[in-house]
Structure 1
Amino acid sequence: MPRTAPSLEKLREITAEIPTPFHLYDAAGIRKNVTSLQQAFSWNQGFKEYFAVKATPNAAILQLLKDQGCGVDCSSYTELLLADAMGFRGHEIMFSSNVTSAEEYQLARKLGAIINLDDISHIDFLAENGGIPEDICLRFNPGGDFKLGTTVMGDPGEAKYGLTPQQMPVAINRLKELGAKRFGIHSFLASNTTDSDYYPTLAKILFELVVDLHKQCDAEFFLVNLSGGIGIPYKPGLPNADLEYIGSKVHAAYEQTIGTSGMKDLAVVAELGRFITGPNAWLIATALHHKDIHKQYVGLDASAVNLLRPAMYGAYHHITVAGKEDAALDHVYDVTGSLCENNDKFAIDRELPEIEIGDLVVIHDTGAHGHSMGYNYNGKLRSAEVLLEEDGSFRMIRRAETPRDYFATIAGFEVTEDLGKPELDPLKQGDATSA
């Protein structure tokens, strides 16, 4: 069952200061998930959670995670800048990217990040743009289907990421020629699964690969990165992943492979994002309108700009109405935003209590890939983010965008002080265009 949202009284206290819509993060829940993960892998001395910044790129969230001993998994130039600004240093930063620019590799090298190469052609590209570090990782793509038992979990052969099995020894030998001393292996074969056998199965594949490459290439390995993939149960009634089971099974696979190989101890690390923050946030919105045509609609002041997943993937997010959590689910609504797109719907034919204009509507499990996937279609502005502490205190950790923010990047376009009529200077426009 999705986590219980703060009470109506608490939400009214927050909305008295910060207007809806906004994402509300639960600091205590985030800390609890990190601690559970660290305990599950405490058998591995080098274990570290590299939080996937793409999930929730907010400085306050990263500071909270840094205080818990986490590193960060970055995938872009801007995420690297954010990591550096938050005080993450050297091997506290994992840089896993694809179609990577020279500027991104150069910055990653400057910061001393662990670089995770996505393609064999990137070896010489990195050598020319930042240089080859002594410690480096390679992303592995086994191809084919990835199965747990008889269930197909993913189709790596269709994924754009990683090196093939045949390319792995070639890449390691080339990297050794260019000065690399120690290697890591990374792979990501399934997304958002609560099947507790995913990590153990993946780990066994990677541990066996490490042993083979160690023998074949006489290469020293320092790290196996299980990446992300452990998901959360968005729908009520679905199971959670069992971290204690996962940790013990990965440990057993480690002992059966690395433990009997004569190799030195390897760090086993993760890059979880969704599991850490996903269930620990809610999108809080206000019901603005009813519409009664062929169906019953409730329109919110939030839209796909604030939470894209339902429109993009048809993803399910549980919805409750603050103060009506125990009321009968005797109405059926499509819950929508205001975008000029018919897929701007948080729920379709959802059974809910009666929603009245002004009710606070709570959309659950928005802590990962929620605010971070926001955009500005229809000139809509991205919302605020708020952090709720265990003692009930709260603070805004990202303000909502304003029209001034929206217009700021348009050449020659200025907004009057009162944010009224926009003014376009043709001369500035011409200068900008001709430049």
Structure 2
Amino acid sequence: MDKIPFLTREKAEEIAARYPTPFHVYDEKGIRQKARDVREAFAWNPGFREYFAVKATPNPFLIKILQEYGCGTDCSSLSELMLSDAIGLKGHEIMFTSNDTPAEEFRYAAQIGAIINFDDISHIDFYEREVGPLPDTVCCRYNPGGIYELANGIMDNPGDSKYGMTHAQIIEAYRILKEKRVKHFGIHAFLCSNTVTNDYYPTLARTLFTLVAEISKELGIRFDFINLSGGVGIPYSPDQTPNDIMAIGQGVHRVYDEVLVPAGMDQIAIYTEMGRFMMGPHGGLVTRAIHAKHTYKNYIGVDACAANLMRPAMYGAYHHITVLGKEDAPLTEVYDVTGALCENNDKFAIDRKLPAIENGDLLFIHDTGAHGFSMGYNYNARLWSSEILLKEDGSFELIRRAQTPRDYFATFDCFDILDGMNWEAGR
């Protein structure tokens, strides 16, 4: 699969003339098409809803685009709940999936009517003690333990994960919820991360559908929804084949008809929370080459760093890089592409074959639309970049301004040092 940037060098330079590099840029056309595709893939299920994982890309401008296509949000913190409420999502359009949850976050989720997704059986008592009576609708998170393996050899290790309840715990949790007169039930599980296969959701669906049938029969309760969570991934590397969301939706439909329909459960809604799949390929980090260093290796230094995109430093994750304007140039050089942090893992690429790069060239780092900007941090007092929306008509809009030194120092307002700060330094 060719990795083709969704903007040209000319467009990137036009943006950079107004909003200096580095910046994250998002493709409105691609985001809208993805939302339409997901909606179509699950149109067979009348209650379907995609709950976009806010942690992937917590920008209200982008989430409001998804909202136009019926998407809700999946939140894991107080601030994410506040953001969802502020942009007009209401009640059960918001799912609260958290762990080690502070009482104030449960309280706020209850206040705005979000669906509560309990991560642990002990949270039921905690909620009642700290918040009050349980809501009418409650979801529980399942963890089957062990190794979760797909037929094509992809596997993950839920047994080593801090999330969710065991089989025995989740049955007991629903028993308790029923006794406490909860009326509506959901179930949720996240068992594999970033899978590039059309088999994951159908396999997970069979696991959850079978469990729901078991619990319903044993406890006499009716489930309203089953949340397949995230895990549907994207092809970060050009040699990977993208997931086919239509095939995925059809696969889940087959399992639904095989397991739930014969059990008289054809009213159950299917939910998803595909942050990475929804937004990942539709964002990129644009950065400018500012130094070339030749020692034991050849280095290209850029004006972005791991504070702008943590995944390569944190996970060793691959992100494809295109030198804008040199898309068809031969890959004659081998570079480490680095940032300015005082950490040797601050590298976007290691031993990467690229065209010859000159200072001033713009590099497009692909697939940063999810878990890109959102994982930013301020180590070395590096500042967060701006976020730009490239609109369908070719215009662009600033949807988050770059952080300034004044922003960074604002939380030190109890110190007199701020009064003597030179805010024009370096300009």
Q: What is the TM-score with the length of structure 1 in the denominator? A: 0.95
Q: Give the conservation status (yes or no) of the 8 Å contact 2:154–2:195.
A: no
Distance 2:367 2:270 in 1: 27
Q: Give the conservation status (yes or no) of the 8 Å contact 1:296–1:333.
A: yes
User: Aligned residue for 2:15?
Assistant: 14
User: Aligned residue for 1:118?
Assistant: 119
User: Aligned residue for 2:352?
Assistant: 350
Pick aligned residue for 1:402 from 401, 404, 408: 404
Q: Give the conservation status (yes or no) of the 8 Å contact 1:2–1:279.
A: no
Deviation at residue 127 of structure 1 after TM alignment = 1.3
Q: Give the conservation status (yes or no) of the 8 Å contact 1:329–1:352.
A: yes
Pick aligned residue for 1:207 from 209, 212, 226: 209
Deviation at residue 55 of structure 1 after TM alignment = 0.3
Q: How many residues align?
A: 421
User: Aligned residue for 1:430?
Assistant: none
What is the alpha-carbon root mean square deviation over aligned residues?
A: 1.2
User: Where in structure 2 are the equivalents of 1:138-149 lying within 5 Å?
Assistant: 138-149=140-151
Distance 2:30 2:154 in 1: 31
Deviation at residue 62 of structure 1 after TM alignment = 1.1
Q: What is the identity, as a one-letter code, of the residue corresponding to 2:373? A: H
Q: Secondary structure at the match of 2:335?
A: strand
Give CA-to-partner distance per residue, 1:403-433, whole Å, 9 cap, x none. 1111111231415475158xxxxxxxxxxxx
Q: Give the conservation status (yes or no) of the 8 Å contact 1:273–1:368.
A: yes
Q: Give the conservation status (yes or no) of the 8 Å contact 2:91–2:114.
A: yes
Distance 1:224 1:350 in 2: 42
Q: Give the conservation status (yes or no) of the 8 Å contact 1:227–1:271.
A: yes
Q: Secondary structure at the match of 1:2?
A: coil
Deviation at residue 126 of structure 1 after TM alignment = 1.0
Give CA-to-partner distance per residue, 1:62-119, whole Å, 9 cap, x none. 1111112110000000100000111110000000000001000000000100110000
Q: Give the conservation status (yes or no) of the 8 Å contact 2:39–2:69.
A: no
Distance 2:114 2:166 in 1: 24
Give CA-to-partner distance per residue, 1:210-238, whole Å, 9 cap, x none. 11100111111100000000000000121
Compared CA separation, residues 415 and 327, structure 1 to 2 (3 A)? farther
Deviation at residue 161 of structure 1 after TM alignment = 0.4
Q: Give the conservation status (yes or no) of the 8 Å contact 2:237–2:318.
A: yes
- Percent pairwise identity: 55
User: Aligned residue for 2:138?
Assistant: 136
Q: Which structure 2 segments of 5+ residues have no match?
A: none
User: Aligned residue for 1:427?
Assistant: none
Pick aligned residue for 1:246 from 248, 264, 277: 248
Q: Give the conservation status (yes or no) of the 8 Å contact 2:388–2:397.
A: yes
| Off by >4 Å, runs of 4+ in structure 1 | 415-418
User: Where in structure 2 are the equivalents of 1:7-406 lying within 5 Å?
Assistant: 7-130=8-131, 131-149=133-151, 151-263=153-265, 265-406=267-408
Distance 1:126 1:282 in 2: 40
Q: Give the conservation status (yes or no) of the 8 Å contact 1:145–1:156.
A: yes
User: Aligned residue for 1:431?
Assistant: none
Distance 1:393 1:150 in 2: 43
Distance 2:3 2:163 in 1: 32
Give CA-to-partner distance per residue, 1:20-65, whole Å, 9 cap, x none. 0000000110111111111111000000000000000001011111
Q: Give the conservation status (yes or no) of the 8 Å contact 1:133–1:179.
A: no
Distance 2:243 2:117 in 1: 27
User: Aligned residue for 1:424?
Assistant: none
Q: What is the TM-score with the length of structure 2 in the denominator? A: 0.97
Distance 1:374 1:167 in 2: 36
Q: Which structure 1 segments of 5+ residues have no match?
A: 422-435
